[in-house]
Amino acid sequence: PFLQSALEPYMSKKTLEVHWGKHQRGYIENLNRQIANTPLEGYLLEDIVKISYNRGSPQPAFNNAAQAWNHDFFFTSLKPGGGKSPTGEIAELIDKQLGSYDNFVKEFKLAAASQFGAGWAWLAREFLFFLSSLSFYPFCLKEAKLVVEKTPNAINPLIWDHIPLLVLDVWEHAYYLDFQNNRPDYVSTFLEHLVNWDIVNARLDRAKAFMNWGEPDWDLFDKDADILTYEEAGIDVVEDSS
């Protein structure tokens, strides 16, 4: 989404040449070979990730599919002149659900720094509605929450039905040319100079549209109540008159 030199001096052209031009290209080419003439051919990449994870028993295509998806999500999480404090709805949600932007930074840095070996640090959103066979009402409803999490190797939050909003690659190939073994400085540089908060807000809008069908005004509800009717949840129900 930008020139390979556009993120300098915070991420070098050489890093992007290797990271995007070699690592990401390799994942995509390997995945295309793996899924050729298989039932996975033709699926969207996100669907390939979910299907090939196979409920915790990954199929051969999973690692390359997830790494290709993760890297694409990471590169579009960057922008020249990015970083600093967010604005818009994501800023409001961070303050409301994570305490403050400073608290988010602490949590995100801890997740990124404490991921042993290769992996990823994420800001994601959990689902809001899910079907429940254990309650009187057809939906069990809880407020969607922002979560900061880390994942090893190729794993990403899609497999838990979380919706990713932001990611940082903490595989060594992502930062070693610029920061050597100083991962904490790499994480700080990402947050201070590289994060694309505009795309995070756009992803948040998409997440809301995908999972909330129009989110209720939570200030109207009892915070201790988990189960609501359709009407209480602000969902219009059309009766079948046929």
Tell me the one-letter amino acid at 57.
Answer: S
d(Cα 68, Cα 74) in Å, to the nearest integer? 10
Structure-derived torsion over alpha carbons of residues 220, 92, 125, 31, reported in degrees to the nearest 10: 150
d(Cα 132, Cα 52) in Å, to the nearest integer? 26
Three-state SS at 22? helix
Q: Is 173 one of the annotated binding-site residues?
A: yes
Structure-derived torsion over alpha carbons of residues 7, 11, 14, 18, reported in degrees to the nearest 10: -100
Contact 109, 141 (CB under 8 A): no
d(Cα 138, Cα 24) in Å, to the nearest integer? 43
d(Cα 210, Cα 126) in Å, to the nearest integer? 12
Angle at 26 between CA 24 and CA 80, to 5 degrees: 15
Q: Is 169 one of the annotated binding-site residues?
A: yes
Residues facing 148 on adjacent strands: 123
Q: Which residues carry a binding-site annotation for Mn(2+)?
A: 19, 71, 169, 173
Q: Which residues carry a binding-site annotation?
A: 19, 71, 169, 173
